[in-house]
Chains A and B, each alone.
Chain A
Amino acid sequence: MDAPALLDVRRLGKVFPIRRGFNRRVVGEVRAVDDVTFTIRQGETLGLVGESGCGKTTTARCILRAMAPTRGEILFHAADGRVVDLAPLSRAELRPLRPQIQMIFQDPFGSLNPRMTIFDNVGEPLLVNGLRDRRARIERVAALLELTGLRPEYLHRFPHAFSGGQRQRIGIARALATEPRLVVADEPVSALDVSVQAQVLNLLLELQQRLALTYLFVAHDLSVVRHISDRVAVMYVGQIVELASSVAVFGRPRHPYTAALMRAAPAPDPRAPSGDVALAGEVANPADPPPGCYFHPRCPFATDACRTERPVLREISGGHLVRCHRAEELTLTGADGADERGERR
């Protein structure tokens, strides 16, 4: 029985103009996000993966309305029961909704104001949203710090006194201050040491259980995404090329790019088959993508249709969407090297 939807992103698009010359005239455009559609259900974690330039961070920023999308709808199911399209709203109209959608940032060293105490950093969202009583704020911040595994006494200290992992916990405490319904985590563990990553991932999982949170988890590290996500969307040059449950995407990918990503990520096991067959070529240019399927120049299975016709994102089996002309015919290898028969290649 599926949980109700919390966020419905429909045909989201974000275009950045390329300007040249003294007049700054527009000579082209970068389609950073190109026709992105997905739904996140309450309480689930949607992983958004892709390499640099795929548009995952721009997508996250549009959802947060840190920038306005060029096209599309961002339908958010607010706490009061209304369904609001965030895309066309003005800053004033967004204000009452912002507490419900918060962000955890990638860089634990850049995301906290070094000249503000932990209390000021974590308490700022509370202050901005009307909690003027200082004592009440102190109580709330202390509770948030404890929730994220930190000592409440720390609230008088400054960020520089803490390690990367601790700062990330502080960032998480800050994100939870306004009791958001949706938390966008943008690469929250990639800047952390291996042993600390596990601690922070565990914290995110525990908090999700306790507070019934919904996560949009943006990352490039596949093993981290696999560990934390219920469903995964794979992006390439601004488009979603595959969207399915985490088990399906990792076990039996249906898009050649997804399969290539799985093969490319080196497994922490010397006995795993090494990826001798690496993907050729470079990532397509979002300012000048190839005709037809954006992935065709690098795709070992490309046909004439792939070179001329743009594939659409379509459902090929229950809940599994793929953007590929040949999805039904291809048998691709998953992350653990097993093919569809379950045998290791």
Chain B
Amino acid sequence: MTAPVLEVKGLRVHFALDEGVVRAVDGVSFTVEASQVVGIVGESGCGKSVTMKAALQIVEPPGRIVGGEILWRRDGGPAIDLAQLSPKGAAMRAIRGAEIALIPQEPMAAFSPVHTVGDQIVEALRLHERQWRPAGSPLSRGEARAMTVDLFKSVGISMPDQRVDAYPWQLSGGLRQRAMIAMALSCKPRLLIADEPTTAIDVTTQAQILNLLRDLQRRHGTAIVFITHDLGVIAQMARRVVVMYLGRVMEQGPVDRIFHAPAHPYTRALLKSIPSVHSTPRTLLPTITGSIPHPLGRPRGCPFHPRCPDAIPGVCTERVPALRPVSPEQLASCFLHSPDEAEPA
């Protein structure tokens, strides 16, 4: 049984604003095994993006990691706590891009508009040469270009030798996202973080990109953390699902259990409220009452209790439930399942 590639333990990321402290990530724990696809799903303000930005040490100030650990394991080596590394230090820069790569939400925002996509990928290859090619001679321009063309082919970009010299704004949304994936994979990372990679593209293009990611994951054995609000995408891509709400993990477990035997009231209510082939058209959908609280107005006790149909007065309103097993491989933060397990105050 190999050790997990990424272990997040009790992570806390706070934003110190003029109006108060926003606890964007408030005690989050989950693991990612080698070659596994983990989906993190949640609505606005749940902290899913901030959690993974913390892993890459790219949380924007005034956000800061204030507690917890992010344990990263290289092949057979000891674990490094990424939360302790300096964001601009050499150690983090060696990991970012080479060992852990990011596919951001908006490819147009992530690419430089004044450089060709080819040049940007070559830059990544050169920067991390020591890591993906420790024993070779320095990368020549010809080699770098050839590698980039090959990468483009592997992600399904047509006419790769021409597209290498294109600027990002010359490419369609789908092609840009493929170029972004090529860049993310260029240095053969062990973990890929995909932050809402298909939100900005059409559904037929999305299907192509999801197929591509599945295929690449099978071929290279890359672990993927897939962040999205789209339950359909999660169902099709993830092996394990982490459901977040207001900075905490409400439930996590195998994808089939989460969808067919959800333990947490939030997960259950969320699944019931989405229109799908199972819901009857033109009838009222079961909704979650109320709305997501303002980040500065966090409820006392369990963050979901004001909207929970099963909240226990005096218990859920006072203490925060801890994440505990409810069935093999499935955990939930809920006093209904683990009445005595509260987070330490």
Whether A and B are associated in the same complex: the answer reads yes
Asked if B235 contacts A269 (CB within 8 A), the reply is yes
Asked if A270 contacts B235 (CB within 8 A), the reply is yes
Given the known A-B contacts A230-B282, A266-B210, are A51 and B202 also in contact in the complex, defined by CB atoms under 8 Å? Answer: yes
Known contacts A194-B229, A226-B277, A275-B236, then 20 further A-B pairs from the complex at CB < 8 Å, ordered by chain A residue? A51-B203, A165-B291, A166-B291, A193-B44, A193-B292, A194-B270, A195-B273, A198-B287, A223-B276, A227-B282, A246-B281, A264-B207, A266-B207, A268-B235, A268-B259, A268-B274, A271-B260, A272-B235, A275-B207, A278-B204
A31 within 8 A of B: no
Bound Cα distance A267, B274 (Å): 11
Asked if A270 contacts B256 (CB within 8 A), the reply is yes
Asked if A264 contacts B206 (CB within 8 A), the reply is yes
Asked if B43 contacts A202 (CB within 8 A), the reply is no
B59 within 8 A of A: no
List 26 A-B pairs, Cβ < 8 Å. A45-B282, A163-B291, A193-B229, A194-B273, A195-B273, A198-B273, A198-B274, A198-B285, A198-B286, A205-B284, A223-B276, A228-B282, A264-B204, A265-B232, A266-B207, A266-B230, A266-B232, A267-B236, A268-B276, A270-B256, A270-B259, A272-B236, A275-B236, A278-B208, A282-B175, A283-B202
Partner of A266, one of B44, B235, B271: B235
Asked if A206 contacts B284 (CB within 8 A), the reply is yes
B285's nearest neighbour on chain A, judged by CB, is: A198
The size of the chain B interface, using a CB distance under 8 A, is 48
A261 within 8 A of B: yes
B91 to chain A, nearest CB (A): 37
B171 to chain A, nearest CB (A): 10
B275 within 8 A of A: yes
B269 within 8 A of A: yes
B64 to chain A, nearest CB (A): 26
One digit per residue, 1 when the CB lies within 8 angstroms of any chain B CB and 0 when it does not, for chain A 274-302 equals 11101110110000000000000000000
Q: Which residues of B contact A267 (CB under 8 A)?
A: 232, 235-236, 276-277
Bound Cα distance A336, B175 (Å): 29
The size of the chain A interface, using a CB distance under 8 A, is 52
Q: Which residues of B contact A266 (CB under 8 A)?
A: 206-207, 210, 230, 232-233, 235-237
One digit per residue, 1 when the CB lies within 8 angstroms of any chain B CB and 0 when it does not, for chain A 239-260 equals 0000000110010000000001
B203's nearest neighbour on chain A, judged by CB, is: A264
B266's nearest neighbour on chain A, judged by CB, is: A195
Bound Cα distance A332, B322 (Å): 49
Q: Which residues of A contact B282 (CB under 8 A)?
A: 45, 205, 227-228, 230
